[in-house]
Amino acid sequence: EISPADISQSPTLTQGMTRAGVILGTAAYMSPEQARGHAVDKRTDIWAFGSVLYEMLSGKMAFPGDDITDILAAIIRAEPLWSALPDGSHPRLRELLERCLEKDARLRWHDIADVRVDIEKVQENPDEPRVEPPVLSQTNSRSRLTWGVVTFALGALLAGFAAWNLVPRPAADSRTVRFSFDVPSGPNQGIINGVEGRIAISPNGERIAYLGTRTEDLEDASAEPVRQIYLRAMDQSDGTPIPGTEGAKGLFFSPDSAWVGFVAGGKLQKVPIAGGAPLDITNVSRVLGADWGPDDRIIYGGGISTGLMQVSAAGGTPKVLTSLDPEKGEITHGYPEILPDGRTVLFTIGTQDGSRIARLSLDTGDWEDLSLSGSTPRYLPAGYIAFSQNGNLRLVPFDLGSMQPGGSVQPVQDGIEAMSFAGLEIVSFDLSPTGDLVFVPGSLGFRTQPVWVDRTGEETIIDASPGMYFGAHISPDGSRIVTTRTDEQGIGEVWVMNIDGSQAFPVADDGANYNPVWTPDGDTLTYTFNGNMFETLVDEDAERTEFLRREKYQYPSSWSPDGQFLAFREGSSDGSSIWIMSRGGDPEPLADLSFNSFAPRFAPQGGWIAYHSDESGQVEVYVRRYPGTERAEPVSRGREPVWSRDGRELFYRSGDRMMAVEIQTEPEFESGEPVELWTSPYFSQEGLFTNYDVASDGRFLMLGIPNLDEAETMTINVVLDWFEELKERVPVP
């Protein structure tokens, strides 16, 4: 039973709660404008009155639903079931309800006094003819009885409602609304790809952008599950895919909430939410966080070994804003937040000792470490910054005058998905200036497990220590494995172990060490250390020697079988390219530098090199003679090519599928039809690096993903009007 007191206690009624962009109250009695997060006034009270009256008369909710999203969608789009009203009801009753529940607030009654006048007119003429279908016609006495009950209920409800409005009272407290929804993400679309950001909320608090997957026609051997951007309005129960955003990551909104920015195909792009094709902004390799300022400049983290970058949202050449200090162990700068003055930026420093928050002046170019351990700062209008620390959100007062934090750090939200990467703590959350929080629940950490997989897909776990492994390469004699394993701060270390996982030891664990590859003799490793290439003997106590130092970050990929040439990938904020160099010689590009290319691999017998590139507009595997002709032979759509030990087959990945194709190089190059060997979602970095290898017996060395079922879907938690909840827990400075 619903009483007038229910209305007085309902947070739906809006005295003191008229800020646009916030959804307040009990969902079943919200007005359409309230459900959309728009500003509200007394007309929302009229809607609540009509909703309660309808429920009293019909015994049903006016706008039912299984959860809050269904209810909000019904409020905005659906009509009440008018046939549920009592038989023989006075025709003015439905008119009264229709005026109360008019979705256009301009056409709704503006004051409860207007409702009272209409009710009094009906009470003065209860015998007014009723317009009813013959099948529902009742006797006049039954109709009078029904209307008598109705008018009594109307009077009681109206009296209670009016009395509530006459009693002086403080503004109603805001009520935080929480809900969640699941989206298919696929195990390789999880937190490791969240490094570049997979959820964002619009500044006006009306929409959430997230990364989801759709499956194309898998009868095509080259087709694979496609990740793209989905957009979900707060008043909708489902997200809508945005065409043209396939392969996207690194999501962020424009300040007017009209565009979504993202990274795809080696480009920083933007797409209008109202519809239309994505537009290129500039070339990028990866983005570690981005923010779009009110002056239409975009500031972003350019990746490992790169500082903050700036580019106009209209396009152009990026400008470097910050440079790393290797002497302080800095690995990257990322996750910027432009403060309200538009001239100051908070950002995260990734170091060998963890992440810290810093402040940059766009006027002077100077920046300062704020000595605050944490990552991904977000400014709250109440005078705080929120940031992540060990997978939890923390809050600290922040003075916009001095641009300094002050006071104690307080925990405000735990259980958020996070991982350590390159000295950064990456956390899957976002905040809107209107006070709403979105996050992916989880915990700090991500693990992979080295495994053997045969050609039929049968898996055997390697007894290696638990950890986060990147890449895996088998030694030339097949007896050992080298891999990158990260420490607690997400800093890469080079480890060597026996083929069964035993006798593991670190070869390089004193900084950012990544992408080790074997030399053909199996005695030496070439790897990346703090952005440049070094070599070291396969010995725990061996010293490193510098192999190549260049301005851009270098990642060794493969030695030619005679040990004369090294193929490596060079990456920076403006793209990725493949280079070849001889010992003591100068590097030369393998392919057109205007396209992104990755994962070069020399054939075991030499003379040919395989790689993947986006030069066709899609990611495809190519084979090219080296040294020799510049002609690239296309093999198939896919990534991460690896030769069989005899050079007669080329393996590559297409989504979660392992593909094989026969290769003939003489007298002319010829590739056969691709064949799927098995499908299983092993760890991948989407082709940035090769994360598997093939042994001489044909088994695949893969990186398994523990808790795979948990990774196949992504839960997004939404907390509307989170700032109001914080005000009750944390005093405003």
Out of 172-176, 324-328, 400-404, 590-594, give the one with best mean pLDDT: 400-404
Mean pLDDT of 118-127: 68
Predicted confidence band of residue 724 (pLDDT cuts 50, 70, 90) = confident
Contact 660, 675 (CB under 8 A): yes
Predicted confidence band of residue 572 (pLDDT cuts 50, 70, 90) = low
pLDDT digits (tens, 9 = 90+) for 476-494: 999 999 999 987 777 889 9
Predicted confidence at residue 640, as pLDDT, reads: 96
Buried b (16+ CB within 10 A) or exposed e, 322-332: bebeeeebbbb
233 Rama class: left (phi>0) / alpha (psi -120 to 50) / beta? beta
With a cut of 90, say whether residue 368 has pLDDT above it.
yes
Predicted confidence at residue 220, as pLDDT, reads: 52
Predicted confidence at residue 694, as pLDDT, reads: 98
Predicted confidence at residue 471, as pLDDT, reads: 87
Predicted confidence band of residue 591 (pLDDT cuts 50, 70, 90) = confident
Residue 413, exposed/middle/buried by CB under 10 A (0-12, 13-18, 19+)?
A: buried
With a cut of 50, say whether residue 413 has pLDDT above it.
yes
pLDDT digits (tens, 9 = 90+) for 258-291: 999 999 878 899 999 999 999 999 988 778 999 9
With a cut of 90, say whether residue 631 has pLDDT above it.
no
pLDDT digits (tens, 9 = 90+) for 638-697: 999 999 999 999 999 998 899 999 999 888 889 999 999 999 888 887 777 899 999 999
- List the domains of the chain with CATH numbers: 4-166 (1.10.510.10), 177-445+712-729 (2.120.10.30), 449-635+680-704 (2.120.10.30)
Residues contacting 677, CB < 8 A, separation 6+: 455, 456, 457, 651, 657, 658, 659, 660
- Residue among 110, 116, 1, 120 at smallest CA distance from 45: 110
SS3 288: coil
Tokens 């195990």 appear where? Answer: 187
Predicted confidence at residue 190, as pLDDT, reads: 45
Mean pLDDT of 170-198: 62
pLDDT digits (tens, 9 = 90+) for 536-570: 999 888 889 999 998 788 899 999 999 999 999 98
Contact 413, 393 (CB under 8 A): yes
- Residue among 303, 308, 297 at smallest CA distance from 284: 303
